Structure formats: structure tokens, C-alpha cells
Structure 1
């Protein structure tokens, strides 16, 4: 169809040209451009001027430039005009004098035609930022003597680089970045000794960088960033003496830095981040005197930072983070007067905080997660340009400097996780631009200064886990931008200030584990963006503020405030009682009662006094009587059904007189076939370390799963059991199996759960050999769902302790649900040794700290089990596998594969490569991080959820 259109256009033009006088010859450029446009879509009518097919010359058309003497088209520049279609060669080949072809930033699709090689006069080609695909034709560069600049960046070209590219000796600019080009780097590229700029970044090149790069003696910039290159940087790179920018980041390069690099004295930017470089940073780095940017982050460098780095007088950005550097920061760095950004985080640096941190013109500096110690001293001649200062997770001690307010340009100050002491200086109020203040996890005492209200730009205030006392200042209400207020685990007293309700941007408030008292301000209900408000473990009292948020707030955020009341706590607030009602039984009507008759009846003890509280007591007695009757009826039913049922090991009615069945929904708690189900082995779903699980049906026909505990000796008392069961019953989350109720006798305890139809994750991974294997998308959804459910349990202060694939159930929609949680607090006498004995079926999931009596068991045990689950889901293998002569632990096996570069081989072979590597590999790494031997190295589950969501949606 398209060829027919071309033919029609050509015939029309030939007919038109035949009627023109011999003195007006046909213009080939007009013909070529009209044919070229026939292949395009022009939704914005950018090429409306091209519609004049009778034009003698196209030189006035949009995007067209002609030679003023010959009148022939030399430049065709149609950048950023919303054009689409294909780059058709027929029309372009008519432009015999074309020197520049630029179609960048459009929506062209299809492949490149080898026929474009016919434009042998082209000097500049720019087809970047389109949707072109397919391989780059080898024929395209057979006749490229005139080519000087080629950009095919930001497309979808694939395959290997054509060998003919090496014949373009005049090429000075080549940009093929952000495509899907693969294979090794061809050595022929190094023969382009006229190259000044080479950008092959963000492709899929593999193998080593070939030798011979020194022949590119005109090269100014080279970028091979974000490929899969390996091996060492060739020694010959030092021969490219004119190099100004080198970017080899995000590859798998290894070894040390080649000594020849010291010759690159004109180099202004060196980025080698995210590789596997090793060894010490050589002292000659100070000889690269033109460096303005030095990024060696995320490698394996060790040793001291050389003092010669102070010779880099032009250095502006220095990033040595995530390496193994040790020793003190060199004082010579005070010679780097131009420094603006410094990141030395996540190393093993020691010594004091150097004074140059506050004296140079640095704008952003992070030395977090190191071993710095000593006091933090801010000199009088201070840097007022400092915007970000992060010294978190060190061992800095002493007081917070009183002259902190002199750093007037500060926007972020993070001194958390140190050993700072003393009060928060009042000068903090002078930091007018401060957005984030984090002093959490130190030894700070005193009170929160009232001057805090002067920090009007403050968005996040984090002071958790200190020894701060006194009241929360009312001036905090002047920080109108505040979104996060974290003051948990301090010694704060007094009421929550009403001025908190002025902070309409507040999203997160954590005041838990303090000594706050008094009522909650009713105005808090007006905060529109609030999504977390934790005031647990205080002495607050009274009713909750009205409104949707406080009606649905998780009970865990309010717990351990005995005098708080409200619907979210399932605790009624005491009413204001009226005076007692006095009734005269001798009077036929209320109207006949008089003061004198009432007085006389009182004297003769003939009155009946009924107060509201008396009526409540009577009603309570009636309810108790009704409850007793209900239990008796229940036990009669149980006895009746058990007498008709076959004998079994356990007897549901063994303690009928003291039985107590409670359903949280308030519905009829009767089992339609309950006793029979519990006594009939055919209804058994499975057995675990703490009991058996049966399927039964409620009176309303709803199926439930009933767990019959076989650990009665570990239950301390009915009161504690029921209290914890009710707490677990309030947990509601899409990824957590809901506890619907419980049954109690001294010798038998039942837990009633919602019934989940599709079985356990273990069955889906390891037992359904004939069924379809879970897809990668389903596996990722399962992992994310488990993470969300576990994070919610941790927010509710519930540690699972027994996380494994058989305790993860899959519902009909494929959503995972965590079951069998909360046994540790449900059974108060349960300690880690009993627990270990009871959950031997969880072998491979148990965190190593279970073996140590002195280590506290925390949520990090669940994180370890989650990490094992992640690896189990991704690999399809069991946590521990027994071979003929060996035992394979999944965590160790996957970690070994990752270290040897076999990350993709870890994924379940049943997926047959049908999985995104960009998701699978980070998920495996996350699983390994969660299974760290050191609990503090494992992330919180809330962080895990964020990481997984970022892996799925990197944007």
C-alpha cells in the first residue's frame, strides 16, 4: 500500500514536470522531500509548509536549509516536532547534497535501511531519542568517509556493533548510548583515531575492554557506563592524554587502577563507581590535578585515603562511599578549597570529625556509617554554605555544639546513632532553612527548647531513643511545614500540646514510650494528612478525638494507656451519671410523691433506690446468666455430637463445664458440625509443632479452620490467654490470616481462623509437580504480600517466630496470607528453647541468634525467616536439602552463586528464563541481606516493603 502511494506521488510529479517549460527543470529536492513526508505522520502540522507541491524550491520549508549559491538542500533538521512513521530512504536519497540529517526527539519507529548509505555526503546524523529498533546495518558505514558525527542514542537498537564502523576514520563524535546493543566491544573502534567523544553507555556490552585504546589520542570523553564489562581497565588508557571525562561506572570491572592514569592531568571527571575495583587508592591520584569530580563509590578499595588528595585544588565533588577505607580523614583535604559535595559514608574511617568539614565551602557532606569518634566542634569561622551534614551512625560523643545555629544554611542535619549527650542547644531555632533534624538514638537529655518554633521550615523532627524530659513545647505548633514528628522512647511528660493541631501537614507522629499524660486534644481530628499517630505506652486518658482517623486507628498505636477509651480500643468511656432515681413503692404514681412522703418512707425503710449503676449491674448479671446458659447448651450439643461420633485421641468436651467459646464477630458461635469435625480425622488439614488443624463449618455455613493446641502446659492462665487472643483477633490485614475466635478449657484450647482455600505456599512450590509452576509475577506478588503482612504484624508488636512456607496460605486470588502467628505471647511460658524444640520443622528458617541465650529475640528473627522465604520462592528449592553425602543450606548456596557471578542461575529453572533479570537479581540480593548473620544488619520489614516496591516500579 505504501509503495503504491509512493508510485502515485512520483507519477504526479512527473506529469507536472512534463508540463513545465524547459527553462524550469524539475527540482529533485522538492521531489525527495515530498516522498519523504509521505512516510510520516505529522499530528501537529509542523510540516504544513511542505504541502506546496508546485514550489520551485523547498528552501523556505520548515526545517530545511539550502546552500545560498546552488539552492540545493544541505540541512534537514526536524528535531522535536512530534513526528512519527519511518525514516524512508527513497525521498532522502534524492537530496544529493545533504550534509546534516537531524530527526532527534521524535517518535520514528521501524529499522534503519541500509540504503541510507547512499547519502555518501552526510557529515552529521542525529536520530537520537526515537523508537527505532533492530540491528544497525553493517552496510551503513561502508561509505562513511565524510561522516563526522553520529548519534543513535535513546532508541531500541540491538545486536552487535557492525564491524564496518571501524572504517569511519573521520568520525569525531559517536553516541550509541541507551540502546540494547550487545556482544563484546569491537577492537576496531580503537582505530577511529579522530574520535573526540565516545559514548556507548547503557547497553549490554560484555567481556573485557580491548587493548589499543591508546590509539585514540584525540579522545576527550569516553563513557562505557552501565554495561556488563569485566576485567581490568587497560593500561593504555593513560595514553589518551587529552581525556577530560572518563565514566566506566556500573560495570563489573576489577583489579586496581592502572598506573598510567597518573598521566591524565587534563582529566576533570573520573567516575568508576559500582564496580569491583580493589586495593588501595594510589598516592598518585593527587597528580590528576585537573580533577573536579572523583567518584569511586561502591567498590572494594581499602586502606587510608591518601594525603595527596589534598593536592586536587580544583576538586568539587568527591564520592568514596561504600568502600573499605580506614584510618582518619586526611587534614590535607582542607586544601581542596573548591569542594561542594563530599560523600564518604559506609566505610570504616576513624578519628575525630575534622575541622575542614565546617570551614570549607562544602554544601553537602556525608560521613555516615563510619567509626568517627571524639567531640564535634564547630569553629567560629564557620561555613555558612553548608546545606547537608550527615554524621549519623558513628561514635561521636560529647555535647551537641551550642553554636549549631551558626550553620545558617543547613537544610538537613543528621547526627543520629551516635553517643552525643547534653541538651539540644537553643540556637537550633536560628536555622531558618532547616528541613530535617535527626538526633535520634543518642544520649541527649534536657528538654526540647521552646526556640524550636523558630525553625519554621522544619519538615522532619526525629529525637527518638534519647533521655529527653520535660514537656513538648507549645511552640512546636509554629513549625507549619512539619510532616513527621518522632519523639518516641524518651522521658517526656505533661500533655500533648493543643498547638499540634496547627500542623496541617503532619503525616507521621510517634510519641510512644514516654510519660505523657492528660487528654488528647480534640482538635487533632482536623489534621487532614495524618496516617500514623502512635501514643502507646504513656499515661494518656479520656476519649479519643472524633473523626474517621481515630475511629480506625490500630489499637497497637494506643496500647498501654489504661485510661484511654473509645471505639478503636473497644473500651467505652464513662458517662456523666445523673443523680439517683428515687422511687416510692407505696405511691401509685410519680405525681403523688411529695417531699414529705419521700422523707417518711425513707425513715421507715420503705423506699427502693435504683441508680443507673444498679441497673447496669442487674443487666450484667442477666448477661452472665445468659452466657452460662449458652455455654451449657453448647456443651450439651458437643456431648450429643461426640456420643454419635467415632472415638478419637482428643475429646472436645473433656472439660465442658468450664468451656468458653468466643467469636469476635459477634455472630452465632455455634459449629454446625463442630464437635464431629474436631473428632473426625477425615477433617484434619495438617499437624504442626503446636497442634492439629481441622476444617469445620459455623452455624451460618461459613467454613473455618480450627487449630487445636497441644501445648496446654505452656498456657499460664485463662486471663492471659484470652487477653492475648483478643489482641490477635483485632489484627486485620489482607495478607494475614484473621483470627475469628477461640475456645477455652483448662485442658483444651482452640483457635478459630478464617479458612483459606488454595493451600499453603509450600504446596504450590514443592508438591504440585503436575500443576503449572508459579510465574515470576505471581512469585513477586507473593513475596511482596508476605512482606506487607509481616510489616503489619511488627507494627502491631507481634513477632511471628515460626515463619515458613507451610505457614503461608494462598487464597483464591493468589494473595498470600500469614498464619500461625503470635504464639510466643499467646503461650507466655514459651521460651526460645521450647520454641526451638517445637518448630524443628522450621529448620533452615531459624535465625542464628536462637542458639545464643544472651541475645534478645526480636522482629529481626522474622526478617531472617522472611529472607529464607524469599530465596525459597525465587529458587523453588527447599531451605535445607539432603543429598547422598552432603547437606545443602539454601542461603549459603545462593550466596556462593552470587559471589561467583551466577545470579541468574539461582532463579527456578521452571521459569525457563521468563523473568525480568532487573527484578530477580535485586530480589535475591534482598533475600541475602535479610539473612545476614548479624541481626542489626537486617532491614526492618517496613524498609523491605519499600525496597520491593522500588524494585517493581523504579521510577
Structure 2
């Protein structure tokens, strides 16, 4: 019996050893397959994580970073290279001909571990222009007040064959003018020079950047006119020149911006007529000309902008009749801002047919007549301002409408306008609007004319009017009682 047990144990041990040998064999086979796959990847031009970086490119990158960050940074902690196992935050690379090249360099506090500019005076290192594959170059909050710096005038031609995006964003210490040399960046698709302290006129050379899709020069101190060449950038999708001191007229050549979707010239000193050629910009979705000096009335060509979603012309002495445009054609509008534009006439009923409208600003004009009840049917409107006009008659809106808009409804400073109670309880009467009363009354309008409207009393005088009515009734009753007493005596 013992020999039988021993024999069984021996068989079990042999089976285990056989199983282990099979696993070892399979493991070796899998390793061989993996090695073969790696060899195949190398043969197919794969990108090993430890691929080399040319010494000249590595030195150019390190010197460029030191120029902005400070001499304390030397990259010694990077192994084996800045594009391999230990990349730098703000630096991206691509693989060309067996070597890593820097394709993106972003300087500024975007992330906690981003490259941040030195507290000392900064000058652009010339090694920056040795990064021959650079596609994106960005500086955010790098040049601060008290440490002025200028955009270099030279060497941009060295990046002409690669650079596609250039940004200088939120750098209050970046002063001087935009150099003409930027016009050499023939592959540039995005140029953002926003919220800096740059001055002078816009360079004509920007008009040579034929591949631009986005041009944002907002929030600087630029002056002078808009270069004519800029208006022929037929691939441009976004043009934002807002918040500068630009002046002069808009040329008819603006019709050359055939692809533009957003055109923002707000908060400048531009003047003259809004050119009729603006109606040729078929793809325009945002048109913002607020706070300039445009005059000459609303161009009828605006009604051809059937893709338009936002139209803002407030803060201009435009003048003329608001009904000069057939607003029904702009069915896609979500925001219409014509406040403080010196417009006159009745509010067109066609505005009530813009079913997607969410914001309507018609305040501080010279509008007259009654408010169309069609405006009460706009399903998505959330803000509506009529204050500061010569409107009259009853407000046509329901209590639910006022409840929804609240303080986003403005109707005050219209002497002939009143709100009917009954369908609207007094607590929802808009601020500054009178309550409609029975009977007629003649009042003086904002322009000194007389306007006959329904009698009204403002909210503060309601209690006084009620008290007077009640007092009169009491006096009548007392007089009747006294008369009866005298007769019985």
C-alpha cells in the first residue's frame, strides 16, 4: 500500500514538472513574437521613445527657454531628451527623419508646472528662431508692467516655412509696434495679439498673410485706419479688432472677407457709413460694431445676412428709421442690440417674427408708437429693453412674461406707456412704468409734445389715489345721513 502511495505521488510531481515546462516554452514563444513585432515597428518607421534629438535643436530649445524663464533653468533634470521620457510642460515635439523636433512652445502660467517668465527684464533670445520645425509659439502673461519688451523686428523669416500659430496674449509689458516682419510668416493660420500694450498703426504686411483663418488684435492701443490689404484675406474666419483706438472709414473692400464668420470692430473710433458691401458677407454669424461713430442710417443690405445670429450696433449715432430693414429676413438672430443708435419710427412688427430671438435692446432711441403684441409671442426671449424712448399705449405682455424676465425688462422713461392691471397684478408691473387707468389725459412727452393716453397713476401714488376716492365716498354718505336727520326733525 505504501508503495502504491509513493507511486501516485511520483506521478503528480512529474505532471507538475511537465506543466511548468509547457508554460516556459509558451512564454519564450510569446517573447519571440513581441521581439519580432518591435522589429517590424522599427522597420515601418515607428517612433521609439528614446529616439535622439539633434544637439543643435536641443541647445536652441534650452537657450530659448532660459531667455524667457531665467538662467537658473538648464534642463539637466531631463533624461534622455526633452521630447522623450520626461517632456517639458508647454513643449511638444514631432518625429522627422529619425529625430525629435520641437513643434510647439508655450510660455506662461497655463498650468501649475508650466514654464513661467522671469521676474527680470526679458529679451527675445535669437536661438528661438533656430527651432526650424516650430508650428505654434505662444506667450501668455509673460511680459508684465514695469518690464517692457518689444516684439523682435527681425528673424521671423526663419520660421516662415513652419509657423502656423503665433500668440501674444495678456502681456501688459509688451509695448511698441507690431513689426512688418510678421508678414513673412506665409504659413500662419492664426495670429492673436490680444490684451497687450502695443501701439501705432496696424502694419500693411498683415494683408500678405493669405492663409490666415483667425486674426485677433483686440485690447491694445492701436490707432489709425484699417489697412486695405487686410480686407482681402479671403480665408479669414474670425476678425477681431475690438477695444483699440482705430479711426477712419470702413472701405467697400470689406466685401473681400468672403469667408468671415465673426467680425468685431467694437469700441473704436470708426466713423462714416456702414458700407452696403457688408451685405455680401454671406457666412457672417456675428457682426459687432458697438460704440463707434457710424452714421448714415441702417444699410438695407443688412437683411441679406441670412446667417447672422448676433447683430450689435449700439452706441453709434446711426440715425434714420428702424424700419429701413426688413427684420423678418434675419430669422436666425438670437441677439439684436440697437440701443442708443439715434433710431426713430415705430418698432417694426417684423421683429416679432424672429422666433429665435433671446436678447432685444431698443432702449435710448427716439422710437414712437405702440409696442407690437407680436413681441409678446417670442418664445425664447429672456431680455427686452425699451426704456428711454417716446413709446405710448398699453404694454401687451402677460404677467407670466414679466415674471420670467424680471429686471431684464426695461420700459421706464416712456411718458406715454402704461401697464394694464387686471391681467397683470400690480406687484408685477415693470419698474418705472405707470398703471393704466380709465379716462383720457393729456401728458407731455420727452420731446415736449403732448400725447393723449389712458389716465394712469404711478405705483407710488396708488395709495394716495385710493385714499382720495375713499374720502370722497365717506363725505357723500355723511351728507346723506345729515339730510335725513334734518328732514325727520
State if a TM-score over 0.5 links the two structures.
yes
Distance between the aligned counterparts of 2:210 and 2:437, measured in 1? Answer: 65
Task: Could you tell me which runs of 5 or more consecutive residues in structure 1 were left unpaired when the two chains were aligned.
Answer: 1-22, 400-417, 422-438, 448-465, 470-955
Shift of 1:58: 4.3
Shift of 1:212: 1.0
- Work out whether residues 186 and 210 of structure 1, in 8 Å CA contact, stay in contact via their aligned partners in 2: no
Task: Could you tell me which runs of 5 or more consecutive residues in structure 2 were left unpaired when the two chains were aligned.
Answer: 1-50, 111-115, 439-454, 471-489
Relative distance call for 1:253 and 1:331 in structure 2 (3 A) is: same
2:68 to 40, 43, 55: 40
Report which stretch shifted further, 86-95 or 313-322: 86-95
- Work out whether residues 376 and 396 of structure 2, in 8 Å CA contact, stay in contact via their aligned partners in 1: no
SS of corresponding position for 2:320: strand
- Work out whether residues 333 and 356 of structure 1, in 8 Å CA contact, stay in contact via their aligned partners in 2: no
CA RMSD of aligned residues (A): 3.0
- Work out whether residues 435 and 457 of structure 2, in 8 Å CA contact, stay in contact via their aligned partners in 1: yes
Alignment of 1:140-539 (within 5 A): 140-141=182-183, 143-282=184-323, 283-356=325-398, 358-359=400-401, 361-363=404-406, 364-377=408-421, 379=423, 390-392=430-432, 394-398=433-437, 419-420=456-457, 439-440=459-460, 442-445=461-464
What is the aligned residue count? 383
- Work out whether residues 36 and 92 of structure 1, in 8 Å CA contact, stay in contact via their aligned partners in 2: yes
Q: Work out whether 1:27 is the aligned partner of 2:55.
A: yes
- Work out whether residues 256 and 279 of structure 1, in 8 Å CA contact, stay in contact via their aligned partners in 2: yes
Q: Work out whether 1:83 is the aligned partner of 2:120.
A: no
Alignment of 1:819-830 (within 5 A): none
**Residue-by-residue CA offset, 1:917-954 (whole Å, 9 max, x unaligned):** xxxxxxxxxxxxxxxxxxxxxxxxxxxxxxxxxxxxxx
Match of residue 9 from structure 2:
none
**Residue-by-residue CA offset, 1:813-860 (whole Å, 9 max, x unaligned):** xxxxxxxxxxxxxxxxxxxxxxxxxxxxxxxxxxxxxxxxxxxxxxxx
Shift of 1:208: 0.5
Shift of 1:87: 5.5
1:50 to 47, 71, 75: 75
SS of corresponding position for 1:157: coil
Distance between the aligned counterparts of 2:429 and 2:185, measured in 1? Answer: 53
Shift of 1:49: 8.3
Distance between the aligned counterparts of 2:284 and 2:68, measured in 1? Answer: 41
SS of corresponding position for 2:345: strand
Shift of 1:80: 2.5
Alignment of 1:64-143 (within 5 A): 64-68=91-95, 70-81=99-110, 82-84=116-118, 85-86=121-122, 88-107=124-143, 109-117=148-156, 118-120=158-160, 121-131=162-172, 132-141=174-183, 143=184
Relative distance call for 1:375 and 1:140 in structure 2 (3 A) is: closer
- Work out whether residues 421 and 435 of structure 2, in 8 Å CA contact, stay in contact via their aligned partners in 1: no
Distance between the aligned counterparts of 1:266 and 1:167, measured in 2? Answer: 28
**Residue-by-residue CA offset, 1:620-679 (whole Å, 9 max, x unaligned):** xxxxxxxxxxxxxxxxxxxxxxxxxxxxxxxxxxxxxxxxxxxxxxxxxxxxxxxxxxxx
Alignment of 1:540-551 (within 5 A): none
Shift of 1:359: 3.4
Shift of 1:33: 2.1
Alignment of 1:549-568 (within 5 A): none
Shift of 1:89: 4.3
Q: TM-score, normalised by structure 1?
A: 0.38
SS of corresponding position for 2:198: strand
Distance between the aligned counterparts of 1:334 and 1:92, measured in 2? Answer: 60
- Work out whether residues 394 and 436 of structure 2, in 8 Å CA contact, stay in contact via their aligned partners in 1: no
Distance between the aligned counterparts of 2:333 and 2:213, measured in 1? Answer: 24
Relative distance call for 1:87 and 1:263 in structure 2 (3 A) is: farther
Alignment of 1:916-927 (within 5 A): none
Match of residue 31 from structure 2:
none
- Work out whether residues 419 and 429 of structure 2, in 8 Å CA contact, stay in contact via their aligned partners in 1: no
Distance between the aligned counterparts of 1:397 and 1:328, measured in 2? Answer: 14
Q: Work out whether 1:61 is the aligned partner of 2:88.
A: yes
Alignment of 1:733-748 (within 5 A): none
Shift of 1:40: 2.5
- Work out whether residues 159 and 185 of structure 2, in 8 Å CA contact, stay in contact via their aligned partners in 1: no
